[in-house]
Structures are given as structure tokens and as C-alpha cells.
Amino acid sequence: MPGMTTNDRPSSGARVLIGALVGIVAAGAGLAIGELAAGFVSPETSPVLAVGSAGIDLAPTPVKEFAIRTFGTADKLVLVSGVLVVLVLAAVLAGILARTKLALGSLLVAGLGLIGLLAAVTRPGAALTDGVPSLLAGLAAVAVLVLLVRAWRRGERPTADAEPSRRALLIAGTASVAAAAVAATAGRLVRAATLDVSGSRAAVRLPKPADPAPPLPAGYRTSVPGISPFFTSNRDFYRVDTALSLPAIPAEEWTLRIGGDVSRPIELSFDDLLNRGLTERDLTLSCVSNQVGGPYVGTTRWLGVPLGELLREAGVSGSSDQLLSRSEDGMTIGTPLEPVLDGRDALLAIGMNGEPLPVEHGFPARMIVPGFYGYTSATKWVVELTATRFDQVQAYWTQRDWDPRGVVETMSRIDVPRPLQRVRQGEVTVAGVAWAQHRGISTVQVRMDGGPWQDAELTEQVSADTWRQWRTTFTARPGTRRFEVRAADGNGNLQPAKRTPPFPDGATGWHSAVVTVTG
């Protein structure tokens, strides 16, 4: 068998393919090194996560809304996949270019590292060292690219040593992939070890509340199949946040600083909270991103310390009108201060349905203020409270033009029948939930095919801060039937018919469900 001759040189198709592979292997090696380094620095400094997080913050509001609406809780997975796809495409291009223009290819790969670096160091609260994983990733990727391209070029030379060179390319390539895999696994392991706060969470013993939730009235719930249960389990509770990697704060290390316009700034530890008499309340929490009838709402039994009590201890001043809270991951949320102090059950919560807060819901501590959407009141992983003024500091969502106050709109939702469900003719049960936190729900009305409104049967109100389930029945003839629902809040104000989108202060309009009634 003759040695490789000029005639055997790879076709341009093969060159593109090899170039693409070289680019991907180089980028993969860089990524792996980056992940490994992030395992040591801190998870959110991972080049991919840093770019993703920067993307979330930079994305215009309509794009964010589209993402939440379209992908729901999978929005983060979609985002990370998007970053990876762009990365792979750029790496492929770099690999193909590098065969003839190694400097250009290297520059492109280095540029990817630079993007990661810039994203990492500009995250809120980031240090310069947060750029190290991306820096190492970029250097590793360039080094691997140069090595592979050199070997590849040697392999293409029309000389007798072509065979060993080709073998060298193969070996170098395989070794890089293997090294990349090892580094990636190691990175994941290191991260899992450092990230894991489940031990800290499992060790938390929640005390019995000094001020337990008021007893539930008889008839506080109904059990129509398919209706949202009155209490949402922690597992089923919706999750909305901008955190690509969950903040991991061991309870033992957590502190809350209360400062700003206060006369006695204080700092509290988790034990300080446990050692106070805790308050337990049933509260409904909802997200401003809900379309009419949307899924991001739930009711749980929260355990915590009244926020007003803490702020008074700190000597909050009368000149502030905003409570600015900051989370471990740099999120800022601005809450109107007056309602926090008006005696409502605004809590710094550490327990949810009898358990320590799940990590995705803010372990070890979060806020909840009845009457406000989550984006202006429910800071998870909260570490700092500052008394300030709305005209002085703008919180994260307010900077993005959402309403600074975020008072919840009255909303009612049809859970049963599901949209487009097929039901038998005759008696059809229509049921769901309605909420208007801190104002309560006084009436729910339902109509079929634009006919007369009929009052639904409501479960007993647990408090003005919780949702109420409702049910009613219609006699439905076969065909396509459309049910609509509307509620009135505790002040008797009817839910407006006008359809508005979630931006900038919450969706309004009546929820409807179209079903097929069969004969």
C-alpha cells in the first residue's frame, strides 16, 4: 500500500468535516476546563451559565415574556441549549477556518472565551476572579485548536510520514475528547459537592409556630376532580426566577443585613430566626407573568418572622417608601414599604408546608408579602434588606419598565373542564380557583355561550390573602360550548373584562374554556 500522495488528500467535503470536528473538540475541551474551574470558583461563573445569565438580564421584556409563555419552567433549559448551539456553530466555523488561517480560527475561539469572561465579571456582585473559568476555557480551547490543526496539517503533507501523522491526529483528537470528558465529569462532581445544601436543609429543625395559622374553616375546600387543591404541594408549586444555577446558601452561613434608612442596622443569623417565636400563615403567591388563567400561582402554609417586626427593630424611618431586598444571586426586588408595615402578614419565610424552604423556593429564607406579585415582594435567597425610596433606587424589574409596585389584579381561572376537553351532555361541572390577595374574593360568576351569569358556589374563605375554590353546574347540550368566569374582590370590584397582557402590571380579562359536549 503506497503512502499518502497528493491524490489521496481529503476532498473539500472531508476537510470541512474534519475542520468542524477539530473546532468542536477544541471548544469542548475549553468548555470542560471552564466547568472544572467553575466548580472551584463558584457555579455561576461557568462560561455557559454566565453568558446565559447575562442574556437573561439583557433580553428585552417582550423576549422574556415570550420565553416564559412559550417554554414555561423549561425556559432555562432552552436558554442554555441556545447558548450551546451558538457556541457549537462558532466552534465549527473556527475549526474550518483554522486549517488555512490558524490565527483567525484561534482568534474566533479566543473571542468566545472573552464573551464568557465579560459576562462573568459583569454579573451583579461579581469579582474579577469570576472571569478565571472563562479565561482558562479560552486558553485551553485555543491550545487544543492549535495542536489539532498542526497535526492535521502534518497529516495532509504528501510525505512518507503521512501515516504516523494521521495516527497522531487521531490520537491527539481522541486524547482531547477523553480529557474533556474527564474534566467535565470532574467539574460536575466538584460542583455537586460544593453546591449541595441538602445536608444543611435536612439538618434544619423548624420549631412549632408561636403564632399558628388560624384554624381552617369547615368547607374551606372542595374536591372536584381536576380542580387545583386548596394547598399546593411544594413539588407542584410553580417556580419563576432568573437563577440559572440555584444559589446554594447553607443555613449556618446565611445572614440577613437590614440597613439603609434605619436607625439601628441589624444582622440576623438563621439561628436568630429559629430562636424567635415564628408566625405561620396560609398565603397565596402569584406571578405577574401569568396570562389570564395562567398556571403560576399557588397557596402554601408559610412559617417565618413578620417582616414589619424586623424593620421596626431596625428603626425604619418614615421617610422611606421602598423596601429594597437583595438576593444572594444579585436579584433586587422593590416592595412598597407601607404595606409591609401595615400589619398584614408580610413574612420573612423559612418554612413552606411544614418543611424548610425547598432550595428552588429560596432556602434558607425568602420574603412573601400578601397583595403583591412575586416580582415586587417574594425575594428568594434573600440576604439584604434596605429601607430606601422609589425615586432613589430602581429594582431589577423596575429597571425593565415593569410597574414598581406590582399590586395583584383580581383573577379567576377555570380548572375543570380543561380547554378542548370532551364532556358528556347533561350536567357539566365547571370549577376552578379565584384570587385577589389581601382584598379577598366575594363572588365568582360563570356563564355559558355568552348567556346569563350565574353565581358559583364558593368554598369558605380562609383569609383575604388566600385563593378560593369555586364550582357550579350547567346543563349543556351537544356541540361546542364556551364557559367564561369572572370574580369580584372583597371590595366588590368586578374583574375587568378588558384583556391586557402581563406587561407592565399584570394581565386582566376573563378566563374562558371551550369544550366539546358529546351526545
Ligand X SMILES: Nc1nc2c(c(=O)[nH]1)N[C@H]1C(S)=C(S)[C@@H](COP(=O)(O)O)O[C@H]1N2
Residue numbers of the site for ligand X (CB under 6 A)?
237-243, 287, 327, 329, 331, 361, 374-375, 378-381
Based on CB atoms, which residue is closest to ligand X, 97 or 249? 249
Question: Helices 102-121 and 12-41, interaxial angle, to 10°?
Answer: 30
Choose the one of Mo ion, ligand X, none that binds residue 361, judging by a C-beta under 5 to 8 angstroms depending on kind. Answer: ligand X
Choose the one of Mo ion, ligand X, none that binds residue 237, judging by a C-beta under 5 to 8 angstroms depending on kind. Answer: ligand X
| Cβ at position 383, least distance to ligand X in Å | 10
Closest CA to 418 of 226, 282, 233: 226
Query: Cis link prior to 62 (omega < 30° from 0)?
Result: no
Q: Does 68 bind Mo ion (CB under 5 A)?
A: no
* Helical H segments across 122-249, by residue range: 132-156, 162-195, 198-202
Choose the one of Mo ion, ligand X, none that binds residue 327, judging by a C-beta under 5 to 8 angstroms depending on kind. Answer: ligand X
Tell me how many degrees the CA angle 441-445-446 measures, rounded to the nearest 5: 140
Which segment (20-28, 275-283, 286-294, 500-508) binds Mo ion by CB under 5 A?
286-294
Contact between residue 78 and residue 153 where contact means Cβ atoms under 8 Å apart: no
Q: Does 137 bind Mo ion (CB under 5 A)?
A: no
Measured between alpha carbons, how far is 62 from 68 in angstroms, rounded to an integer? 10
Based on CB atoms, which residue is closest to Mo ion, 254 or 396? 396
Measured between alpha carbons, how far is 457 from 472 in angstroms, rounded to an integer? 6
Contact between residue 36 and residue 183 where contact means Cβ atoms under 8 Å apart: yes
Which residues, including other chains, have CB under 8 Å from residue 168's CB and lie 6 or more apart?
Answer: 151, 154, 155
**Side chain identity, residue 60:** P
State how far the alpha carbon of 160 is from the alpha carbons of 6, 153, 166, 170, in Å.
11, 14, 11, 17
Based on CB atoms, which residue is closest to ligand X, 115 or 324? 324
Q: Does 331 bind Mo ion (CB under 5 A)?
A: no
| Cβ at position 162, least distance to ligand X in Å | 57
Choose the one of ligand X, Mo ion, none that binds residue 384, judging by a C-beta under 5 to 8 angstroms depending on kind. Answer: none
Q: Does 402 bind Mo ion (CB under 5 A)?
A: no
- Residues in contact with Mo ion, shown as a per-residue x/- string from 235 to 274 under the rule CB under 5 A: -----x----------------------------------
Residue 162 in 3-state DSSP? helix
Choose the one of ligand X, Mo ion, none that binds residue 508, judging by a C-beta under 5 to 8 angstroms depending on kind. Answer: none
| Cβ at position 382, least distance to ligand X in Å | 7
| Cβ at position 508, least distance to Mo ion in Å | 16
Based on CB atoms, which residue is closest to ligand X, 134 or 232? 232
Based on CB atoms, which residue is closest to ligand X, 380 or 481? 380
What residues line the site for Mo ion (CB under 5 A)?
A: 240, 287, 374-375
